[in-house]
């Protein structure tokens, strides 16, 4: 598998899908209405990617196996000049390619990309209900740095 810089066409296909997925996750995890979740997703995307694919300090890739697009991954560089870190915002492995270790491979390839730009740390957020992702990230050495909990009454 290779990570190839996302094209504008791929970005235009990915962005609405990623926003929708993020909104669905916000609804599931936080109980937002669809309208609220879509508004949050739109606001967050505009804030994070104000210039779309060309937004500064954002790295968007298509995962390719041979010529097949098997997924996407997006990370950004955050923090002050003396404390810059990468933060993974989105990773999608297409459903028909799941269960083949491609998410793990993409995460390792992102580590290489982050090292190339001189950073030494990667962070990410994972929703509490996403057991498969939590297991993957823990197996790759990620540790919980913050934990938010809720109780439905």
For 16, the domain range is: 2-139
Residues 78-133 pLDDT 10s: 999 899 999 999 999 999 999 999 999 999 999 999 999 999 999 999 999 999 99
**Is residue 146 included in any domain, yes or no?**
no
Residues 28-83 pLDDT 10s: 999 999 999 999 999 999 999 999 999 999 999 999 999 999 999 999 999 998 99
**Is residue 115 included in any domain, yes or no?**
yes
Rounded CA-CA distance 93/105 in Å is 11
**Is residue 148 included in any domain, yes or no?**
no
What backbone torsions phi and psi does residue 13 show, to the nearest 5 degrees? -80, -40
**Is residue 120 included in any domain, yes or no?**
yes
Residues 133-144 pLDDT 10s: 999 999 999 999
Whether the model pTM is above 0.85 = yes
Rounded CA-CA distance 72/94 in Å is 8
Q: Are 43 and 26 in contact (CB under 8 A)?
A: no
Structure tokens at 12: 């235009």
**Is residue 130 included in any domain, yes or no?**
yes
């Amino acid at each position: 598998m290779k990570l190839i810089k996302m094209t504008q066409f791929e970005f235009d296909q990915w962005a609405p899908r990623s926003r929708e997925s993020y909104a669905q996750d916000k609804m599931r995890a936080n109980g937002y209405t669809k309208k609220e979740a879509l508004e949050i997703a739109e606001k967050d995307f505009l804030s994070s990617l104000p210039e779309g694919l060309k937004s500064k300090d954002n790295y968007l890739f298509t995962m390719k196996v041979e010529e097949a697009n098997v997924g996407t991954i997006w990370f950004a560089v955050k923090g002050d000049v003396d404390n810059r870190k990468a933060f993974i915002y989105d990773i999608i492995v297409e459903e028909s390619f799941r269960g083949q270790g491609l998410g793990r491979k993409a995460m390792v390839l992102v580590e290489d990309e982050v090292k190339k730009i001189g950073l030494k740390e990667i962070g990410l957020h994972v929703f509490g209900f996403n057991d498969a992702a939590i297991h993957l990230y823990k197996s790759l050495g990620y540790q919980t740095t913050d934990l938010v909990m809720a109780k439905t009454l």
